[in-house]
Structure 1
Amino acid sequence: MTALPAHVALIVVDLQPDFMPGGALPCVDGDALVEPIAALLHARRYHAVVATQDWHPRNHASFASHYPGQAPFAQIQLHGHAQTLWPDHCVQGTTGAALHPGVDWDVADMVLRKGTRPRVDSYSAFRENHGPDGTRPATGLAGWLRERGITEVHVCGLARDYCVLWTAQDAASAGFAVGFHWELTRPVSADNDDATRQALATAGIALL
């Protein structure tokens, strides 16, 4: 494969066992991404590679287990905004939270752990979800990329309809050109694919 220009970076979002069949919060055929993403990284087409890692404390506010009477995938209000409640997943230090061992992560220039604050969820690689003060705090990734001359990012990973989508949208909002590796993503629910495609089109994000 031909190397891409130096101003283009790849973000691999949450390629972790908990988001794959048999994991705590499986995406549809999430494990099918391991081999092609491993091959993409091995080809070294990208001069900069960022991997994100969902990394929650056990008492994370997004876990349904902390709300008596609530089930996973229920909706509540958290800090004034809609919050989906999830099964306990990607708990710090667990096997399910590890970056998938089928990928050589030594090629990654940065591993960004997100969702580490107990009271704030974090889908995007660029900004956390809304916190108690009503803002979405930046992770610092945009600055890290700009200091390396990156003006375009391509995204892949899990889940297509949440963390990959939000990462792509926030990258576009931050001024980056964005490409979305649709075939290198999988959703929590395929029912969301039409809405995901519409959201990408609205944000001017190209499907790769």
Structure 2
Amino acid sequence: MDTSQRRALLVVDVQPTFCEGGALGVTGGDAVATRVADHVRTHRDRYVLVATTQDWHVDPGSHFSDEPDYVDSWPPHGVAGTAEAELHPALGEVQADVTIKKGRYDAGYSGFGGTDEDGRDLAAALRDAQVTHVDVVGIAESHCVRATALDALEHGWQVRVLTDLTVPVSPELGQAARAEMRSAGVELVTSDQA
């Protein structure tokens, strides 16, 4: 490991609720879960910290709707305490150093809006581990991955999104998210290039 870089891996919302058959299933979600698990298993030594985030909605207000617009409101998903809100079974052997639950009482797109079981937020966990660089993977690229990557950049970290370890809600939304992230300064690379 390059000692000048202390890199963290942020595994964003790899949960059954966002995979095929889930409340907000994204085509390719299960495959991304498997690829993320393989990446962690193969490259765990690259990271000083691995963090997972989960949508963990208790009462997110207007984020949930019986008549969702799929922009600001959505069908119920990632409901706290349900099997769909747990980490995807493919991640069963991933020993995360930090587990962040987000969106309890709000939309919670970014992993930086949640906390671990001790009430510590993601930024504090990264600072505590003296992280300098962040890789972001997970579901969905167009929403929570984008929001988490942009917030990581805003907090001052060097940020990469590993494009083969994420999937957007739709190709069009993915293209827009990649353009926004790239223009903000997020590096977009494949896991093989990383």
Q: Does 1:147 align with 2:128?
A: yes
Give a deviation string over 1:19-59, Cα, whole Å, max 9, x none: 01111001121111122111111121322100001001156
Partner of 2:117: none
One-letter identity of the residue aligned with 2:13: D
Which position in structure 2 is the counterpart of 1:127?
113
In the TM superposition, residue 105 of structure 1 has moved relative to its aligned partner by 4.9
Change in Cα spacing, 1:203 to 1:160, as seen in structure 2 (3 Å) is same
Higher relative helix content: 2
Match for residue 69 of structure 2? Answer: 73
For 1:33, the equivalent position in structure 2 comes to: 32
Q: 1:91 to 1:13 in 2, by over 3 A?
A: same
For the pair shown, the structure with the greater C-alpha radius of gyration is: 1
Identity %: 39
Between 197-206 and 168-177, report the one with greater CA deviation: 197-206
TM-score normalised over the length of structure 2: 0.86
Query: Using the alignment, how far apart are the partners of 2:170 and 2:107 within structure 1?
Result: 19
Equivalent-residue separation in structure 1 for 2:26 and 2:135 (angstroms)? 20
Is structure 2 residue 19 aligned with structure 1 residue 51? Answer: no
Write out the 4+ residue segments of structure 1 that deviate beyond 6 Å after TM superposition.
Answer: none
Distance 1:59 1:11, change over 3 A: closer
Deviation string 1:52-77 (CA, Å, 9 cap, x unpaired) is: 01001156431112xxxxx22355xx
Partner of 2:147: 166
Structure 2 counterpart of 1:178: 159
Question: What corresponds to 2:172 in structure 1?
Answer: 191
- Structure 2 equivalent of residue 81 of structure 1: none
SS of the residue corresponding to residue 113 of structure 2 reads coil
Deviations, residues 147-176 of structure 1 (Å, cap 9, x unaligned): 211011000000100000000000001100
Tell me the amino acid that sits aligned with residue 36 of structure 1. R
Contact 2:135 2:160 in 1 (8 A): yes
In structure 2, what is the Cα distance between the partners aligned to 1:176 and 1:141? Answer: 12
The size of the alignment, in residue pairs, is: 181
TM-score normalized with structure 1 length: 0.81
- Could you tell me how far 1:122 is from its partner in structure 2? 0.6
Whichever residue aligns with residue 65 of structure 2, its letter is: A
C-alpha separation in 1, matches of 2:111 and 2:135: 12
| Structure-2 change in CA distance of 1:29 and 1:4 (3 Å) | farther
Taking only aligned residues, the RMSD between alpha carbons, in angstroms, comes to 1.8
Deviation at 1:198, TM superposition (A): 1.2
Local SS of the residue matching 1:102 = helix
